[in-house]
Amino acid sequence: MPPAPPTDCSVAGGYTQRNLVANSPALGAEHVDPHLVNAWGLAFNPTGIAWVANEGTGTSTLYDGNGVQQPLIVGIPAPPRETESGEPTGVVFNGSDAFVVTGTGVSGPARFIFATEDGVLAAWAPAVDEASAKIVADNSAMGSVYKGLAMAGTGADARLYAADFRNGRIDVFNSSFTPMPMPGAFADPSLPAGYAPFNIENIEGTLYVSYAQQDKERSDDVPGVGAGYINAFDMNGQLLRRFASQGTLNAPWGMALAPAGFGQFSNHLLVGNFGDGAINAYDPASGAWAGALTRPDGQPVKVDGLWSLHFGTGAQGLPAETLFFTAGPADEDQGLYGRLDMTPVCPQGGLPPWKAPRGPEAQ
């Protein structure tokens, strides 16, 4: 006789993927937007919609939780000497009056700030220019390749943290976009040579830095099973602990803390691998691996070219228990914005075989 279904069916149903927007009909998404190429960074206004940074087209496009595109399209600039558009990666929302951008006879606080692979920070201030972000910091001459961006602190004390993959460091800027030299910050002597900061996320006041292996040009990652590390730092760059090492990590980039209503992996730290598209869950206190997200059929969730992970805000069709994601499939030549929803239905006959306890080696 099979075991009885669990009392809480949310534990057994897995997670259902919806591809909301893609740049091409070939990806089978519900909507098509040609601007959405190598969809990378993802940020929300707490009462608004999703802002996606499109590295492949130098734009940011806006969508609700069902993939309906909003009219605004924001251009992201390249350094002055470049003729092509910018290459945005990470993006953060700023709700304070700090991070002021100045234009011709007008100024105002930035609402969204982007890091780019060109080595610049660009800020969008609607009072200055609704159609384009403005360059507010430029380290392109130093060869910086910013793969990720985080913000910590509040108001005038807030800081920006940009992950410079090429130079293997975290660059810090104050609320006026002025660089803040912090000798010795964000250091980890035990990190193997050839690994560099791939992304940085502020999760409940702790800065989590993911590391990937550099290629020969130090501009792109080298994927591989176990090719990744994650450290936890305070906002001054003091190493708090090594959170995760190798194991199921594979060029990890996206990181998000799951809320209480996320089924089996509620209250776990989720880590998305760019290398293989898997999403792994870790105990936020111990860093212990807890499993990988699976689909309702028991197969692992795999999103080609997976970048951002971000839970919704509870507004604009963005449920707080839904995990939104971005990706650059086909070696970053295409783009995808989608969502993963907990499947609250027990398979007929009780617990399916893929829910039996097993270790990382069985995944």
- List beta partners, residue 134: 123
Q: What is the pLDDT of residue 2?
A: 33
> Residue 349, class by beta-carbon neighbours within 10 Å (0-12 exposed, 13-18 middle, 19+ buried)?
exposed
pLDDT of residue 46: 87
Contact 78, 100 (CB under 8 A): no
Report CA torsion sign: 298, 10, 351, 264: positive
- The pLDDT assigned to 358 comes to 44
* pLDDT score of 4: 40
At 245, list the tokens.
């090492």
Q: What is the pLDDT of residue 9?
A: 52
Contact 80, 134 (CB under 8 A): no
Q: In the prediction, which pLDDT does 361 show?
A: 42
Q: Where are the alpha helices (H) located in the chain, listed in sequence order?
A: 329-332
**What secondary structure letter does DSSP report for 221?**
B
pLDDT for 345 equals 57
pTM of the model: 0.92
Of 288, 334, 284, 285, which is closest to residue 307 (Cα–Cα)? 334
Beta bridge partners of 230: 210, 244
Per-residue pLDDT of the chain in tens (363 residues, 90 and over written 9): 333 444 555 445 799 999 999 999 999 999 999 999 999 999 999 888 999 999 999 999 999 999 999 999 999 999 998 888 999 999 999 999 999 999 989 999 999 999 999 999 999 999 999 999 999 999 999 999 999 999 999 989 999 999 999 999 999 999 999 999 999 999 999 999 999 999 999 999 999 999 999 999 999 999 999 999 999 999 999 999 999 999 999 999 999 999 999 999 999 999 999 999 999 999 999 999 999 999 999 999 999 999 999 999 999 889 999 999 999 999 999 999 999 999 875 555 444 444 444 444 433
φ/ψ (deg, to 5) at 25? -60, -20
175: its two tokens: 């609320």
